[in-house]
C-alpha cells in the first residue's frame, strides 16, 4: 500500500514538473535565445511552424501562394501536406502586407514592413517588439546585434534582421538558414 502511494506521488510530482517546464517554454526567456525557433516570429507564428497552423493563428483577410520557380499556385492545405519547394505567400493582415516563404509545409521566412503607424502595436515579435519601437527598445529586448541600420541576430539555424530608419524599427525579417 505504501509503495503504491509513493509511486503515485512520484508520478504526480513528475507530471507537475513536466507541465511547468512545458508552460515555461511558451514565454520568452530573460535574454534572446538564438537557438529557440519561436524567437523568430511575429503575432504567434514562427519559423519551422506548419503553414496551416500559422494561417489559423494569423487569420489573414487575403492570402495568395505561388511557387517561385514553377509559378504554380498552392492552397494552404496543399502546402500543409508538404507540397511546393519554394512557395512565397503574400498575406493581407488587416491593412498590412506580410510575406512568408514555405518549404515542405513549414515557414522558412517571415517578412514584415510598411506597417501603417496606427497598426504598429498589432504586430509584435515573440519578445514584444513592435513596429516603430526604438533602436534602444530593440537592444533592450534582443541584446546587442551586428550592424547599425540593419541589425542582425543569428543562431545556428535562423537569423533575424531588423531595419532601422530614424532610430525606429521600420521592418524585420526572420529566415531559416540554408542547409548548404
State how far Cα 68 lies from the chain centre: 21
The closest alpha carbon to 172, from 145, 27, 180, belongs to: 145
CB 101 within 8 A of CB 108: yes
With contact defined as beta carbons under 8 Å apart, do 32 and 143 qualify?
A: yes
pLDDT digits (tens, 9 = 90+) for 65-80: 999 989 999 999 999 9
In this structure, are residues 155 and 34 in contact, taking their beta carbons and an 8 Å threshold?
yes
Q: Where are the domains of the chain?
A: 37-174
With 0.75 as the threshold, say if the pTM is over it. yes
pLDDT in tens, 119-151: 999 999 999 999 999 999 999 999 999 999 999
Amino acid at each position: 500500500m505504501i509503495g503504491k502511494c509513493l509511486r503515485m506521488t512520484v508520478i504526480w510530482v513528475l507530471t507537475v514538473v513536466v507541465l511547468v517546464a512545458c508552460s515555461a517554454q511558451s514565454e520568452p526567456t530573460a535574454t534572446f535565445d538564438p537557438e529557440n525557433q519561436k524567437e523568430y516570429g511575429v503575432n504567434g507564428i514562427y519559423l519551422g511552424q506548419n503553414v496551416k497552423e500559422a494561417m489559423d493563428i494569423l487569420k489573414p483577410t487575403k492570402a495568395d501562394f505561388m511557387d517561385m520557380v514553377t509559378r504554380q499556385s498552392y492552397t494552404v492545405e496543399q502546402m500543409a501536406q508538404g507540397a511546393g519547394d519554394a512557395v512565397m505567400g503574400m498575406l493581407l493582415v488587416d491593412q498590412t502586407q506580410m510575406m512568408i516563404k514555405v518549404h515542405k509545409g513549414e515557414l522558412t521566412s517571415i517578412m514584415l514592413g510598411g506597417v501603417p503607424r496606427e497598426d504598429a502595436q498589432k504586430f509584435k515579435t515573440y519578445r514584444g517588439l513592435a513596429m516603430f519601437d526604438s533602436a534602444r527598445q530593440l537592444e533592450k529586448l534582443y541584446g546587442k546585434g551586428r550592424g547599425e541600420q540593419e541589425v542582425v541576430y543569428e543562431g545556428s539555424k535562423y537569423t533575424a534582421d531588423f531595419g532601422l530608419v530614424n532610430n525606429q524599427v521600420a521592418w524585420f525579417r526572420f529566415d531559416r538558414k540554408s542547409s548548404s
